[in-house]
Amino acid sequence: MKLEQSNHISKKYQQLDDKDLVRFYRQNGDEQAFSELMNRHQTKIYSYIYSMVKDGGKADDIFQETFTKVITKMDDTYNEQGKWIAWVMRIAHNATIDYLRKQKRFVDVSSNYDKESNTDFYDRLPDEDLISAQEQLEKDEAKSSLMRHIDELPEEQRQVVMLRHYYEMPFKEIAELTDVSINTALGRMRYALINLRKLFDKEKEQEENNYAQRG
């Protein structure tokens, strides 16, 4: 699909940077410029939303809501001095968080490690019931073990991982986007990696046990 769309857009647009494309769309209503912008970023934005809500239908809604806001508010709210994609990501992030809050699935951000207390980070790992539920999910071949582990991460850690992974966003920008200090953002990334390592280790251990049982 992306390739098909790209074919319709002249090469001239593909060579322009985001800033120019945004200007073309704002000033002349240039639809090709907007299409090129979407083609460039849609996958990353959608992946981020999808990884956060874990539901295709909801991800579609949030993605559409994000771009509706982008289209209608670009003239009034977007300041051309800033990066367009950072502005779009902020909208996508806020829409995602709003949805998660509405679903009451939002994990309290003011967790202990954020306050730099000495609470063990393993407290934040899913409980046994959830793990057994995850075991059921393991049968779902469509999901990779990595995605499953990512899904198990607390919301705020997943946010940082995804923003960093899909956008290579500097921690300063992640901190601004998620309204936390840069140290908190770095701390979240660190705990996300530690938790993931633990989950991978656990998975490996289980596989070894299964193998031993079969043997």
Partner 1 sequence: MRNEDNNDCIRYLMKEMDPSEELLMERAMMEDEDLLIEVESMRQTLKKLDKLPEVEPPSHVTKAIKKKASEQAKKNRKRDQTFKPVYKYAIAATLALTITAGGGWLYIGSEETKSNNAQQTATASVSSPTATQTQGVKQVNTTNASSNSTGFVGSNVENQSPTATPGSSNVEPWVDREDILRFEDQFSNQQEQFQTILQRSTERLKLIQEPSIQNNRVKSIQLTGSKN
Query: Contact positions toward partner 1, by CB under 8 A?
Result: 1-2, 5, 25, 29-31, 34-35, 38, 42-47, 50-51, 56, 59-60, 63-64, 67-68, 71-72, 75, 116, 144, 146-147, 150, 161, 164-166, 170-171, 183, 186-187, 189-190, 193-194, 196-197, 200
What's the min distance (Å) between Cβ of 73 and partner 1? 10
Cβ closer to partner 1: 63 or 100? 63
| Cβ neighbours for 101, distance < 8 A, ≥ 6 positions apart | none
What's the min distance (Å) between Cβ of 214 and partner 1? 26
Residue 99, judged by CB atoms within 10 A of its CB (0-12, 13-18, 19+), counts as: buried
What's the min distance (Å) between Cβ of 47 and partner 1? 5
Cβ closer to partner 1: 8 or 132? 8
Cβ closer to partner 1: 34 or 99? 34
Copy the structure tokens of residue 187: 């701390």
What's the min distance (Å) between Cβ of 215 and partner 1? 27
Cβ closer to partner 1: 59 or 100? 59
What's the min distance (Å) between Cβ of 15 and partner 1? 20
What's the min distance (Å) between Cβ of 173 and partner 1? 11
Cβ closer to partner 1: 43 or 209? 43
Computed on alpha carbons and rounded to an integer, the radius of gyration of the chain in Å comes to 20
Please report the DSSP string for the chain in residue order: -HHHHHHHS-HHHHHS-HHHHHHHHHHH--HHHHHHHHHHHHHHHHHHHHHHH--HHHHHHHHHHHHHHHHHHTTTT--TTS-HHHHHHHHHHHHHHHHHHHTT-PPPS--GGGGT----GGGGS--HHHHHHHHHHHT-TTS-HHHHHHHHS-HHHHHHHHHHHHH---HHHHHHHTTS-HHHHHHHHHHHHHHHHHHHHHHHHHHHHHHHHH-
Cβ closer to partner 1: 39 or 100? 39
